[in-house]
Homo-oligomer: A and B are copies of this chain.
Protein backbone atom coordinates (compact mmCIF):
# COMPACT_ATOMS: atom_id res chain seq x y z
CA UNK A 1 0.00 0.00 0.00
CA UNK A 2 1.31 3.45 -0.78
CA UNK A 3 -0.06 6.25 1.29
CA UNK A 4 -1.11 8.36 -1.68
CA UNK A 5 -3.61 5.76 -2.74
CA UNK A 6 -5.13 5.35 0.71
CA UNK A 7 -8.77 4.51 0.27
CA UNK A 8 -11.16 6.05 2.76
CA UNK A 9 -14.45 5.29 1.06
CA UNK A 10 -15.50 2.83 3.74
CA UNK A 11 -15.99 4.22 7.24
CA UNK A 12 -16.42 1.15 9.42
CA UNK A 13 -17.90 -2.27 9.95
CA UNK A 14 -21.58 -1.65 10.59
CA UNK A 15 -23.35 -4.89 11.36
CA UNK A 16 -23.31 -8.63 11.03
CA UNK A 17 -26.22 -10.95 10.38
CA UNK A 18 -25.84 -14.11 12.39
CA UNK A 19 -27.92 -17.20 11.65
CA UNK A 20 -29.24 -19.44 14.39
CA UNK A 21 -31.26 -22.61 14.47
CA UNK A 22 -31.98 -22.02 18.15
CA UNK A 23 -33.41 -18.55 17.87
CA UNK A 24 -35.02 -18.26 21.29
CA UNK A 25 -31.99 -19.54 23.15
CA UNK A 26 -29.65 -17.37 21.09
CA UNK A 27 -31.75 -14.26 21.68
CA UNK A 28 -31.91 -14.99 25.39
CA UNK A 29 -28.13 -15.37 25.44
CA UNK A 30 -27.41 -12.14 23.61
CA UNK A 31 -29.83 -10.03 25.63
CA UNK A 32 -29.75 -11.52 29.13
CA UNK A 33 -26.20 -12.90 29.36
CA UNK A 34 -23.95 -11.25 26.77
CA UNK A 35 -25.56 -7.86 27.28
CA UNK A 36 -26.82 -6.54 23.95
CA UNK A 37 -29.99 -4.47 23.74
CA UNK A 38 -32.94 -5.27 21.51
CA UNK A 39 -33.87 -2.48 19.06
CA UNK A 40 -36.63 -4.35 17.29
CA UNK A 41 -37.81 -7.80 16.35
CA UNK A 42 -39.81 -9.02 13.37
CA UNK A 43 -40.89 -12.49 12.25
CA UNK A 44 -37.46 -13.45 11.04
CA UNK A 45 -34.94 -11.47 12.98
CA UNK A 46 -33.98 -9.63 16.13
CA UNK A 47 -32.07 -6.35 15.74
CA UNK A 48 -29.50 -5.95 18.50
CA UNK A 49 -26.86 -3.42 19.46
CA UNK A 50 -24.38 -2.67 22.22
CA UNK A 51 -25.11 0.34 24.42
CA UNK A 52 -22.74 2.64 22.52
CA UNK A 53 -23.34 1.45 18.96
CA UNK A 54 -24.75 4.54 17.24
CA UNK A 55 -26.68 2.68 14.57
CA UNK A 56 -30.02 0.92 14.95
CA UNK A 57 -28.35 -2.45 15.10
CA UNK A 58 -24.94 -4.05 14.90
CA UNK A 59 -26.14 -7.65 15.15
CA UNK A 60 -29.07 -9.02 13.19
CA UNK A 61 -29.97 -12.39 14.63
CA UNK A 62 -31.94 -14.41 12.10
CA UNK A 63 -33.93 -17.62 12.43
CA UNK A 64 -32.48 -20.17 10.04
CA UNK A 65 -32.06 -23.87 9.53
CA UNK A 66 -28.41 -23.59 10.35
CA UNK A 67 -25.82 -21.29 11.89
CA UNK A 68 -23.14 -18.98 10.54
CA UNK A 69 -23.08 -15.52 9.02
CA UNK A 70 -25.92 -14.21 6.84
CA UNK A 71 -24.15 -11.10 5.62
CA UNK A 72 -21.62 -8.48 6.68
CA UNK A 73 -22.44 -4.77 6.37
CA UNK A 74 -19.91 -1.94 6.10
CA UNK A 75 -20.93 1.72 6.12
CA UNK A 76 -19.38 4.10 3.58
CA UNK A 77 -18.28 7.65 4.38
CA UNK A 78 -20.67 9.32 1.90
CA UNK A 79 -23.08 8.57 -0.94
CA UNK A 80 -20.28 9.45 -3.36
CA UNK A 81 -17.91 7.04 -1.69
CA UNK A 82 -20.55 4.33 -1.88
CA UNK A 83 -20.90 5.00 -5.61
CA UNK A 84 -17.13 4.75 -6.06
CA UNK A 85 -17.06 1.43 -4.22
CA UNK A 86 -19.93 0.03 -6.29
CA UNK A 87 -18.09 0.98 -9.43
CA UNK A 88 -14.91 -0.69 -8.22
CA UNK A 89 -16.72 -3.85 -7.17
CA UNK A 90 -18.61 -4.12 -10.44
CA UNK A 91 -15.31 -3.78 -12.28
CA UNK A 92 -13.63 -6.36 -10.10
CA UNK A 93 -15.29 -9.45 -11.42
CA UNK A 94 -16.35 -10.63 -7.97
CA UNK A 95 -19.96 -11.88 -7.85
CA UNK A 96 -22.43 -9.00 -7.55
CA UNK A 97 -25.79 -9.61 -5.91
CA UNK A 98 -27.06 -6.08 -6.50
CA UNK A 99 -29.02 -3.56 -4.47
CA UNK A 100 -31.32 -4.47 -1.61
CA UNK A 101 -33.98 -2.21 -0.16
CA UNK A 102 -32.22 -2.33 3.19
CA UNK A 103 -34.04 -3.27 6.35
CA UNK A 104 -35.01 -1.77 9.71
CA UNK A 105 -31.48 -0.59 10.29
CA UNK A 106 -30.54 1.16 7.06
CA UNK A 107 -31.63 2.10 3.55
CA UNK A 108 -30.57 0.49 0.30
CA UNK A 109 -27.38 -1.50 0.31
CA UNK A 110 -25.18 -2.97 -2.39
CA UNK A 111 -24.50 -6.69 -2.00
CA UNK A 112 -21.62 -8.73 -3.37
CA UNK A 113 -19.80 -11.90 -2.53
CA UNK A 114 -16.30 -13.04 -1.80
CA UNK A 115 -14.96 -16.15 -3.59
CA UNK A 116 -15.81 -18.29 -0.59
CA UNK A 117 -19.48 -17.43 -0.40
CA UNK A 118 -19.62 -14.78 2.33
CA UNK A 119 -22.11 -12.03 1.46
CA UNK A 120 -21.04 -8.42 2.03
CA UNK A 121 -23.03 -5.23 1.68
CA UNK A 122 -22.13 -1.55 1.55
CA UNK A 123 -24.51 1.24 2.49
CA UNK A 124 -24.46 4.85 3.51
CA UNK A 125 -27.92 5.93 4.66
CA UNK A 126 -28.37 4.52 8.11
CA UNK A 127 -30.99 4.51 10.79
CA UNK A 128 -29.37 5.96 13.87
CA UNK A 129 -30.52 4.63 17.18
CA UNK A 130 -32.76 7.21 18.86
CA UNK A 131 -33.73 6.57 22.48
CA UNK A 132 -37.50 6.26 22.74
CA UNK A 133 -37.85 6.20 26.50
CA UNK A 134 -36.24 7.82 29.51
CA UNK A 135 -34.72 4.46 30.41
CA UNK A 136 -32.98 4.27 27.03
CA UNK A 137 -31.66 7.85 27.17
CA UNK A 138 -28.01 8.09 28.16
CA UNK A 139 -27.01 10.14 31.18
CA UNK A 140 -24.14 11.55 29.10
CA UNK A 141 -25.13 12.96 25.75
CA UNK A 142 -22.00 11.71 24.00
CA UNK A 143 -23.02 8.08 24.30
CA UNK A 144 -25.58 6.46 22.06
CA UNK A 145 -27.89 5.09 24.72
CA UNK A 146 -28.21 4.32 28.40
CA UNK A 147 -25.27 2.58 30.05
CA UNK A 148 -26.45 -0.92 30.83
CA UNK A 149 -23.44 -2.13 32.75
CA UNK A 150 -22.88 -4.92 30.22
CA UNK A 151 -19.44 -5.67 28.85
CA UNK A 152 -19.95 -5.03 25.11
CA UNK A 153 -19.64 -1.33 24.29
CA UNK A 154 -19.61 -1.54 20.49
CA UNK A 155 -19.24 -4.01 17.65
CA UNK A 156 -15.55 -4.61 17.05
CA UNK A 157 -14.78 -7.16 14.36
CA UNK A 158 -15.53 -10.55 12.88
CA UNK A 159 -13.43 -13.46 11.67
CA UNK A 160 -14.24 -15.42 8.52
CA UNK A 161 -12.85 -18.70 7.26
CA UNK A 162 -11.54 -19.04 3.71
CA UNK A 163 -9.66 -21.76 1.88
CA UNK A 164 -7.29 -19.24 0.33
CA UNK A 165 -6.50 -16.31 2.56
CA UNK A 166 -4.38 -14.61 -0.12
CA UNK A 167 -7.33 -14.62 -2.45
CA UNK A 168 -9.55 -13.29 0.33
CA UNK A 169 -7.00 -10.53 0.92
CA UNK A 170 -7.21 -9.41 -2.70
CA UNK A 171 -10.99 -9.29 -2.36
CA UNK A 172 -10.80 -7.06 0.74
CA UNK A 173 -8.30 -4.69 -0.84
CA UNK A 174 -10.17 -4.38 -4.11
CA UNK A 175 -13.73 -4.22 -2.83
CA UNK A 176 -13.41 -2.41 0.49
CA UNK A 177 -10.04 -0.74 0.22
CA UNK A 178 -9.04 -2.46 3.45
CA UNK A 179 -5.42 -2.51 4.50
CA UNK A 180 -3.61 -5.40 6.15
CA UNK A 181 -2.17 -4.74 9.59
CA UNK A 182 -0.91 -8.20 10.59
CA UNK A 183 -0.73 -11.64 8.98
CA UNK A 184 0.50 -15.21 9.48
CA UNK A 185 3.10 -16.48 7.02
CA UNK A 186 3.09 -20.27 6.91
CA UNK A 187 6.22 -22.25 6.14
CA UNK A 188 4.51 -23.68 3.07
CA UNK A 189 4.29 -20.23 1.54
CA UNK A 190 0.59 -19.75 2.18
CA UNK A 191 -0.92 -16.99 4.26
CA UNK A 192 -2.48 -18.59 7.32
CA UNK A 193 -4.43 -15.56 8.49
CA UNK A 194 -4.81 -11.91 7.72
CA UNK A 195 -6.11 -8.95 9.75
CA UNK A 196 -7.77 -6.03 7.93
CA UNK A 197 -8.92 -2.53 8.74
CA UNK A 198 -10.56 0.37 6.94
CA UNK A 199 -9.80 2.92 9.64
CA UNK A 200 -7.61 3.45 12.73
CA UNK A 201 -8.84 0.35 14.49
CA UNK A 202 -6.15 -2.28 14.35
CA UNK A 203 -8.61 -4.62 12.64
CA UNK A 204 -12.30 -4.89 11.89
CA UNK A 205 -12.15 -8.20 10.02
CA UNK A 206 -9.84 -11.18 10.15
CA UNK A 207 -9.65 -14.13 7.84
CA UNK A 208 -8.07 -17.42 8.78
CA UNK A 209 -7.58 -20.56 6.78
CA UNK A 210 -10.50 -22.97 6.56
CA UNK A 211 -9.42 -26.44 7.60
CA UNK A 212 -12.80 -28.12 7.73
CA UNK A 213 -13.73 -28.09 4.07
CA UNK A 214 -16.66 -25.71 4.57
CA UNK A 215 -17.63 -22.74 2.45
CA UNK A 216 -18.59 -19.27 3.62
CA UNK A 217 -18.12 -20.10 7.25
CA UNK A 218 -17.88 -17.85 10.26
CA UNK A 219 -15.16 -18.18 12.86
CA UNK A 220 -16.40 -15.58 15.33
CA UNK A 221 -18.00 -12.18 15.99
CA UNK A 222 -16.52 -9.80 18.56
CA UNK A 223 -17.65 -6.84 20.62
CA UNK A 224 -15.25 -4.41 22.29
CA UNK A 225 -15.24 -3.76 26.02
CA UNK A 226 -13.98 -0.63 27.74
CA UNK A 227 -11.67 -2.45 30.13
CA UNK A 228 -10.06 -5.85 30.54
CA UNK A 229 -11.87 -6.11 33.86
CA UNK A 230 -15.18 -6.16 31.95
CA UNK A 231 -14.01 -9.39 30.36
CA UNK A 232 -12.98 -11.00 33.66
CA UNK A 233 -16.36 -10.12 35.10
CA UNK A 234 -18.10 -11.46 31.98
CA UNK A 235 -16.23 -14.74 32.42
CA UNK A 236 -17.90 -15.19 35.80
CA UNK A 237 -21.26 -14.33 34.28
CA UNK A 238 -20.75 -16.89 31.50
CA UNK A 239 -19.70 -19.47 34.10
CA UNK A 240 -22.77 -18.76 36.19
CA UNK A 241 -25.04 -19.05 33.15
CA UNK A 242 -23.66 -22.35 31.84
CA UNK A 243 -22.24 -20.77 28.72
CA UNK A 244 -19.54 -22.82 26.99
CA UNK A 245 -16.28 -20.93 27.55
CA UNK A 246 -13.96 -22.13 24.81
CA UNK A 247 -10.74 -20.32 25.70
CA UNK A 248 -9.53 -17.31 27.62
CA UNK A 249 -9.38 -14.86 29.16
CA UNK A 250 -5.87 -14.38 27.81
CA UNK A 251 -3.96 -12.01 25.56
CA UNK A 252 -3.45 -12.63 21.85
CA UNK A 253 0.08 -12.37 20.53
CA UNK A 254 -1.35 -11.21 17.20
CA UNK A 255 -2.94 -7.78 17.63
CA UNK A 256 -2.30 -7.92 21.38
CA UNK A 257 -5.99 -7.96 22.31
CA UNK A 258 -7.21 -9.36 25.61
CA UNK A 259 -9.85 -11.95 24.71
CA UNK A 260 -12.52 -14.40 25.82
CA UNK A 261 -14.29 -16.82 23.48
CA UNK A 262 -17.63 -18.47 24.16
CA UNK A 263 -20.20 -20.29 22.07
CA UNK A 264 -23.72 -18.94 21.95
CA UNK A 265 -26.40 -21.63 22.31
CA UNK A 266 -26.60 -22.42 18.59
CA UNK A 267 -22.84 -22.84 18.38
CA UNK A 268 -21.69 -19.56 16.84
CA UNK A 269 -18.44 -18.43 18.45
CA UNK A 270 -18.63 -15.01 20.10
CA UNK A 271 -15.75 -13.03 21.55
CA UNK A 272 -15.28 -10.17 23.96
CA UNK A 273 -12.06 -8.26 23.36
CA UNK A 274 -10.16 -5.28 24.67
CA UNK A 275 -7.38 -3.59 22.72
CA UNK A 276 -6.41 -1.07 25.36
CA UNK A 277 -5.20 2.18 23.82
CA UNK A 278 -3.77 0.49 20.74
CA UNK A 279 -4.62 2.06 17.37
CA UNK A 280 -2.95 2.06 13.97
CA UNK A 281 -2.21 5.73 13.44
CA UNK A 282 0.82 5.42 11.16
CA UNK A 283 -0.25 6.02 7.54
CA UNK A 284 2.62 3.81 6.38
CA UNK A 285 2.16 0.97 8.86
CA UNK A 286 4.14 -2.06 7.74
CA UNK A 287 2.06 -5.23 8.15
CA UNK A 288 3.44 -7.38 10.94
CA UNK A 289 4.41 -10.88 9.87
CA UNK A 290 3.98 -13.83 12.25
CA UNK A 291 5.81 -17.00 11.26
CA UNK A 292 5.00 -20.53 12.29
CA UNK A 293 7.95 -20.35 14.65
CA UNK A 294 6.35 -17.30 16.30
CA UNK A 295 3.03 -19.07 16.55
CA UNK A 296 4.56 -22.03 18.34
CA UNK A 297 5.08 -19.82 21.37
CA UNK A 298 1.32 -19.82 21.84
CA UNK A 299 -0.63 -16.75 22.83
CA UNK A 300 1.08 -13.73 24.38
CA UNK A 301 1.42 -15.23 27.85
CA UNK A 302 1.99 -18.76 26.61
CA UNK A 303 -1.50 -20.26 26.44
CA UNK A 304 -1.64 -22.99 23.82
CA UNK A 305 -4.41 -22.48 21.30
CA UNK A 306 -6.95 -25.24 21.86
CA UNK A 307 -7.81 -27.62 19.07
CA UNK A 308 -11.44 -26.55 18.60
CA UNK A 309 -10.24 -23.06 17.77
CA UNK A 310 -8.68 -24.45 14.59
CA UNK A 311 -11.63 -26.58 13.57
CA UNK A 312 -14.90 -25.18 14.89
CA UNK A 313 -16.70 -22.79 12.58
CA UNK A 314 -20.34 -22.20 11.74
CA UNK A 315 -22.27 -23.68 10.12
CA UNK A 316 -20.87 -27.11 10.92
CA UNK A 317 -19.51 -28.97 7.93
CA UNK A 318 -21.77 -31.81 6.90
CA UNK A 319 -20.03 -35.17 7.12
- Which A residues have a C-beta under 8 Å from some C-beta of B? 2-4, 6, 8, 11-12, 52, 54, 75-81, 138-143, 146-147, 149, 153-154, 156, 182, 199-201, 224-230, 232-233, 235-240, 242, 245-251, 253-256, 258, 260, 274-279, 281-283, 288, 290, 294, 300-303
Contact = CB atoms under 8 A, between A and B. Distances in A.
Contacts of A3: 77-78, 81
A213 to B, nearest CB: 27
Contacts of A140: 239, 253, 256, 300
A52 B154 CA distance: 24
A250 B249 CA distance: 7
A55 to B, nearest CB: 8
Contacts of A276: 153, 225-227
A240 B281 contact: no
Contacts of A238: 301
Given A276-B153, A279-B201, A2 B239 contact: no
Of A12, A142, A251, A254, which is in contact with the most chain B CB atoms at under 10 Å from its CB?
A142
A72 to B, nearest CB: 16
Contacts of A6: 8, 77-78
A142 B254 contact: yes
B229 A228 contact: yes
Contacts of A303: 303
A209 to B, nearest CB: 20
Nearest to A246: B302
A11 B303 CA distance: 36
Contact of A237 (B76, B141, B147): B147
Q: Sort A-B residue pairs by CB-CB distance and give the 7 closest, nearest first.
A: A226-B276, A3-B78, A229-B229, A77-B283, A224-B277, A200-B200, A12-B281
13 contacts: A8-B8, A77-B283, A139-B239, A139-B242, A146-B240, A154-B277, A156-B277, A199-B199, A225-B277, A227-B227, A235-B301, A245-B302, A249-B249
Contacts of A4: 78-81
A238 B52 CA distance: 18
A236 B283 contact: no
Contacts of A274: 277
A270 to B, nearest CB: 15
Contacts of A255: 142
Contact of A281 (B11, B256, B301): B11
Contact of A138 (B76, B226, B240): B240
A161 to B, nearest CB: 23
Contact of A11 (B250, B251, B254, B282): B282
Contact of A251 (B224, B235, B246, B283): B235
A301 B147 contact: no
